[in-house]
């Protein structure tokens, strides 16, 4: 099916109901501030499953395809992310606040989303308090660069609209009808997400009835970011802003002992470079 959205738009567009795309959202100054802030963080490689719990049938332990960083709260992959209605607690761990440049942009994203959604599509108390920062690129494996820049079919389970800001090489983002890996027939919408673009999506159609994926990331723009990840060449960075009800965001010290054990190694890694996570770890040993 043909995409309803212009594949390259200079003006903000609403596109299909519940979708918004603005190719020129990010100003040059804001982009510069974000790139400068990115050099201060140290993304980590997460394992998909806990080393201390049985791995679900049909699955094997694996590293995510990309390094990640979370702001607001960290939804560790090994805790299986925030997943209403049952996976509410011990899923979203308090994390660093948004840096100023992102906090300012979030205010504008929230205003746009509030103009687009109401009723059940805009949950009470909704605000963008969570951000997943995904690093896309190539990984050095046994002396060879392997392109791992993609994300498989999935849904974002946090309630309400999601806002997504992209930097670097453009990515082919697709909404699909099934979770069948790589299925080419089920594409109902697609959009190239360019450097500096904003995408907002929400409502049942895009959050509940379809899956989304990043099918591939271009190499033509010559974008490379200096990120604090060894043996990884980052050519695209995506910020996905979401909402986790504040009462479900838990300080590390308040997690169950089992959950703390699941994420302790990652917390220690984060604490090497982040005073926030160092404090969180320390507070758990004193409570
Ligand atoms: O990188 C993107 O554009 C989308 C990332 C995504 O689907 C996610 O973080 O859930």
Structural domains present in the chain: 19-286 (2.60.120.590)
Q: Is the CB of 187 under 6 A from ligand 1?
A: no
Q: How far does the centroid of ligand 1 lie from the alpha carbon of residue 146, in Å?
A: 20
Q: What is the pLDDT of residue 183?
A: 75
Burial status of residue 56 (CB atoms within 10 A of its CB: 0-12, 13-18, 19 or more): exposed
User: Which residue's CA is the nearest one to ligand 1's atom 7?
Assistant: 213
pLDDT band at 286 (very low <50, low <70, confident <90, very high): low
Distance from Cα 237 to the centre of ligand 1, integer Å: 10
Relative to beta strand 73-75, strand 144-147 is unpaired
163 in contact with ligand 1, CB cutoff 6 A = no
How does pLDDT run across 42-74, given as a tens digit for each residue? Answer: 999 999 999 999 999 999 999 999 999 999 999
The verdict on the CB of residue 217 being under 6 Å from ligand 1 is no
Residues 217/166, Cβ–Cβ less than 8 Å: no
Give pLDDT, residue 181: 79
Q: Is the pLDDT of residue 4 over 70?
A: no
Ligand 1 centroid to residue 142 C-alpha, Å: 27
Q: Which of 83, 133, 134, 166 to mutate to test the pocket of ligand 1 (most atoms within 8 A of CB)?
A: 134
Q: In what order do the strands lie in the sheet with 187-193?
A: 151-154, 211-217, 171-176, 187-193
Is pLDDT of 269 > 80? yes
pLDDT in tens, 192-230: 999 999 999 999 999 999 999 999 999 999 999 999 999
Higher pLDDT, 168 or 14: 168
* Residue 244 in this model has a pLDDT that exceeds 80: yes
Q: With contact defined as beta carbons under 8 Å apart, do 113 and 200 qualify?
A: yes
Q: What is the pLDDT of residue 283?
A: 95
85-141 pLDDT tens trace = 999 999 999 999 999 999 999 999 999 999 999 999 999 999 999 999 999 999 999
Tell me the per-residue pLDDT of 5-33, one tens digit each, with 9 for 90 and over.
333 333 445 568 999 999 999 999 999 99
- Nearest atom of ligand 1 to the alpha carbon of 213: 7
Q: What is the mean pLDDT of the chain?
A: 93
Q: What is the pTM of this model?
A: 0.93
State how far the Cα of 105 lies from the Cα of 69, in Å rounded to an integer: 18
User: How many Å lie between the centroid of ligand 1 and the Cα of residue 239?
Assistant: 8
Atom of ligand 1 nearest to the CA of 164: 3
Asked whether 136 and 217 are in contact (CB, 8 A), the reply is yes
């Amino acid at each position: 099916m043909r995409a309803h959205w212009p594949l390259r738009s200079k003006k903000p567009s609403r596109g299909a109901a519940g979708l918004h795309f603005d190719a020129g959202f990010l100003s040059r100054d804001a982009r510069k501030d974000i790139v400068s802030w990115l050099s201060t963080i140290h993304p980590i490689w997460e394992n998909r499953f806990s080393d201390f719990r049985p791995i679900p049938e049909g699955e094997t332990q694996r590293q995510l395809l990309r390094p990640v960083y979370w702001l607001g709260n960290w939804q560790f992959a090994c805790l299986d992310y925030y997943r209403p209605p049952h996976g509410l607690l011990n899923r979203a761990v308090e994390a660093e606040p948004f840096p100023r440049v992102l906090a300012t942009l979030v205010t504008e994203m929230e205003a746009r989303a509030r103009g687009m959604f109401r009723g059940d599509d805009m949950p009470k108390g909704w605000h963008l308090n969570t951000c997943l920062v995904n690093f896309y690129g190539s990984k050095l494996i046994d002396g060879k660069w392997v392109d791992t820049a993609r994300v498989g079919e999935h849904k974002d389970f946090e309630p309400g609209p999601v806002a997504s800001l992209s930097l670097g090489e453009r990515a082919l983002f697709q909404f699909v009808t099934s979770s069948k890996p790589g299925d080419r027939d089920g594409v109902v919408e697609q959009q190239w997400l360019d450097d500096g673009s904003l995408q907002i999506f929400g409502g049942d159609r895009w959050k509940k009835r379809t899956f989304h994926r990043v099918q591939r990331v271009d190499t033509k723009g010559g974008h490379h970011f200096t990120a604090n990840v060894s043996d990884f060449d980052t050519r695209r960075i995506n910020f996905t802003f979401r909402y986790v009800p504040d009462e479900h965001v838990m300080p590390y010290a308040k997690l169950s002992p089992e959950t703390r054990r699941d994420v302790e190694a990652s917390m220690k890694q984060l604490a090497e470079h982040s005073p926030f996570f160092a404090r969180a770890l320390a507070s758990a040993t004193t409570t």
